[in-house]
Amino acid sequence: MITENLVSEQSDWQRELRQAIHNPLYLLTLLKLSDSALAHRVAAKQSFSLRVPRGYVARMRQGDPDDPLLRQVLPLEAENKQIQGFSIDPVSDVAAEKVPGLLQKYHGRVLLVATGACAIHCRYCFRQHYHYSAYNPSAVLDSIRADSSITEVILSGGDPLTLTDKRLAELAHNLASISHVQRLRLHTRLPIILPERINDELLAWLTGTRLQAIMVVHANHANEIDEKVNKALQSLVDVGITVLNQSVLLRGINDNAAALIALSEALFKSRVLPYYLHILDRVQGAAHFEVSMETSTQLLEQLRVALPGYLVPKMVREVEGMAYKQPE
């Protein structure tokens, strides 16, 4: 999927993507952790490999085995334990397919798995075992066209912003030609991981469509939002795009009130509102990230006490067969 971006003229973000780090021991060396106890817990070989761009690594603290950004990407042996209740399709994506690549679980909105590629591999990702197959664009568009109850199309993945702007502009154009589609939503971690991705080409097609654009980014910790990310987020807001954030509650990363408060405040400094705080989907390999329900509800209470209502994310869980993500 990535290779299509590599022909001739490369943008900065494409070069950055190509130079992403894949070797865990090299990553630990860069962070001065190659002799640490953490180095002995690294998983030798994973089918869902390490992948992290250098700009994101630069936001990690050197010499800190508990760094919350490092913990999101470093493959650990703990992932290989089989734990009851943790499965490869935790949210039943397969059953929700209308046509290959197009999922519908909720009224009025469909989710297009636009690509399997991501700029980063998050160890807790609920789609880490998802079997991505290339979707057929005309079948997807026909399916959306045939159902006038669909008013919003969500581009997801993988990460839709790993696709070229040319492809995305064409997709937006085709969706805009379907009269009942009103909104185009992007679920993407790129503005956080690789802020160079928010360039003029992207802003041009995103603002050049009749569809109302919403971008839901994904940051879990305030340290992910540095000055470059701040600028990228604000440039989206400046051109009139609604920008929201979703996070996952993760043990050892953001499972304390101070971290979650700092995240909401950092987001709002970039004019982004917190949207969802997801309870971890029980995907195989991610059990060591799970936070108990008791701790989760206590944290939510602490956020409500400490923050204005608009900075408290909705804590939700996905439950199979339910008509919306369930509030906790």
Ligand X SMILES: *Cc1c(COP(=O)(O)O)cnc(C)c1O
Q: Name the site residues for ligand X (rule: CB under 6 A).
A: 96, 103, 105-106, 109, 111, 154, 324-325
Nearest approach in angstroms of CB 185 to ligand X is: 8
Taking only Cα atoms into account, the Rg of the chain, rounded to an integer number of angstroms, comes to: 19
| Only segment of 114-122, 142-150, 203-211, 232-240 that touches ligand SF4 (CB under 6 A) | 114-122
Instruction: Name the region of 240 (left: φ>0; alpha: ψ -120 to 50; beta: rest).
Output: left
**Judged by CB, which is closer to ligand X: 59, or 127?**
127
Smallest distance from ligand X to CB 98, Å: 10
Cα distances from 298 to residues 117, 232, 251, 305, in angstroms, run 35, 33, 14, 11
Partner that binds at residue 154, options ligand X, ligand SF4, none, CB closer than 5 to 8 Å by kind: ligand X
Q: Which stretch binds ligand SF4 (CB under 6 A): 84-92, 157-165, 196-204, 275-283?
A: 157-165
Binding to ligand SF4, residues 178-217 (CB under 6 A): 189
| Binder among 73, 122, 153, 300 for ligand SF4 (CB under 6 A) | 122
Residue of 120, 181, 253, 307 that binds ligand SF4 (CB under 6 A): 120
Alpha-carbon distances, residue 224 vs 141, 160, 165, 194, 253 (angstroms): 35, 20, 24, 10, 12
User: 59 contacts which partner out of ligand SF4, ligand X, none, CB within 5 to 8 A by kind?
Assistant: none
Tell me the one-letter amino acid at 190.
L
d(CA 110, CA 108): 7
Ranges assigned E (strand) in the chain: 97-99, 102-106, 109-113, 152-156, 183-187, 212-217, 242-248, 273-278, 314-317, 326-327
Taking the C-alpha atoms of residue 71 and residue 50, their distance in angstroms, rounded to an integer, is 11
Read out DSSP for 94-148?
GGGEEETTEEEEETTEEEEE--S--SS--TT-TTTT-------HHHHHHHHHT-T
Task: Give the DSSP H/E element, type plus range, for residue 281.
Answer: none
Q: Residue 118, interface with ligand SF4 (CB under 6 A)?
A: yes
Q: Whose Cβ is closer to ligand SF4: residue 71's or residue 307's?
A: 71
Closest CB to ligand SF4 among 181 and 267? 267
> Is 95 known to sit in a ligand binding site?
no
The response to whether 118 counts as a known ligand-binding position is: yes
Q: Site for ligand SF4 (CB under 6 A): which residue of 59, 71, 121, 197?
A: 121
Distance CA 98, CA 110 (A): 9
Rule CB under 6 A: say whether 24 interacts with ligand SF4.
Answer: no
Q: Please report how close the Cβ of residue 243 comes to ligand X at its closest, in angstroms.
A: 14
Determine the 3-state secondary structure of 272 from DSSP. coil
**77 phi and psi, to 5 degrees?**
-60, -30
Q: How far is the CB of 208 from ligand SF4 (least distance, A)?
A: 26
Q: Which does 122 bind (CB under 5 to 8 A by kind): ligand X, ligand SF4, none?
A: ligand SF4
Question: Which residue numbers belong to the known binding site for [4Fe-4S] cluster?
Answer: 118, 122, 125
Q: Which residues make up each annotated binding site? A: 118, 122, 125
Q: Which residues bind ligand SF4 (CB under 6 A)?
A: 118, 120-122, 125, 127, 157-159, 189
